[in-house]
Amino acid sequence: MATLCGLNVGGTNCSAVAGTDDGQILDRAQWLSDAGRGPDAMIDDLVEHAQALCGNYDEIRGIGLSIGGPLDANRGIIDSPPNLAGWDSIPLRTILQDRLALPVQVDHDAAACALAEWRWGAGEGADRLVYLTCGTGFGAGILIDGQPYYGHGGRSPEIGHVRYAEDGPVAFGKQGSFESYASGSSLRLLAAWKFPERWGESPPEPPEIGQLASGGDDDAREVLSINARVVGDACGLVADLFVPRVIVLGSLSLYLGESWIQQVKGRFHEQALPAHVKSCRLTPPGLGERLQDCSALAVAARI
């Protein structure tokens, strides 16, 4: 089995893993992104940790990197992700290949998760699969016959930037965007927007909203209900556009559990064409907490 190196870049944490073609994690390191330092310092961290991991193995076939978009996947150029200030037209693939002397593949984080779920998780072998991140941001990774879909010039699809409603919180630079309603981070935004007298100045963090809702707090339950409804609408949209066999729901499905998933499914059944509902399965990630690590390996496996 080939040994692969995977790198995950996020606004809060970064990680490096060594693993195999069948999704086994052999070694792992994680560190705080400290994104305010800018791309040069963060890239130095990536190189340092990748070198440390790769040095433990006789041969590394390649390095896969998962990072939020917008980006040009064909050239591995990162173009101003909202959670990575200063990453403006950064030729990340070229930089890493030059410094690590290994082939590098860069993919949008949603596409990377879709690849992992297609290879080893809930969507194994599906000919059409969509992964909705439902995490810090709201992105869609679209797989067609096992290959990520990118637009002209390798540009990543950015469903989070699509306007969902004229009113609502602001995220991804746009009021009422899908990201402002359907991401994990949107729970704070929705709480402050929907209940300004209670939470306008200091909205609770997403885990606290989940805890309040579990304890019977009506306002918190309303926030989760709005979020689930919009995620369900997004599922209906991608189902009618791409007719996937599987839609994998990301982080919120793991943290909020079955009640939230059922709300999403209920809305999906209302919105999508009946034939598309019948042919498409909505599911949480089969890889669970392993998904982020496996996503970077799945990108490396494309090399």
Q: List pLDDT tens digits, range 71-84.
A: 999 999 999 998 89
Predicted pLDDT of residue 52: 93
Predicted pLDDT of residue 1: 61
Query: Residue 294 above 90 pLDDT?
Result: yes
**CATH number for the 3-114+290-300 domain, one of 1.10.3720.10, 3.30.420.40, 3.30.70.100, 1.10.1740.110?**
3.30.420.40
Ranges of each domain in the chain:
3-114+290-300, 125-284
Query: Residue 40 above 80 pLDDT?
Result: yes
Average confidence (pLDDT) over 206-234? 97
**0.85 exceeded by pTM:** yes
**Do 3-114+290-300 and 125-284 have matching folds?**
yes
Query: Residue 9 above 90 pLDDT?
Result: yes
Q: What CATH number is given for 125-284 in this structure?
A: 3.30.420.40
Structural tokens at position 30: 């994680």
Q: Which long-range contacts (CB under 8 A, 24 or more apart) does 171-174 make?
A: 171/82, 171/137, 172/82, 172/137, 173/82
Average confidence (pLDDT) over 91-106? 97
**Interaxial angle between packed helices 218-242 and 251-271, expressed in degrees from 0 to 180 and rounded to the nearest 10:** 70
Query: Residue 263 above 90 pLDDT?
Result: yes
Q: What is the mean pLDDT of the chain?
A: 95
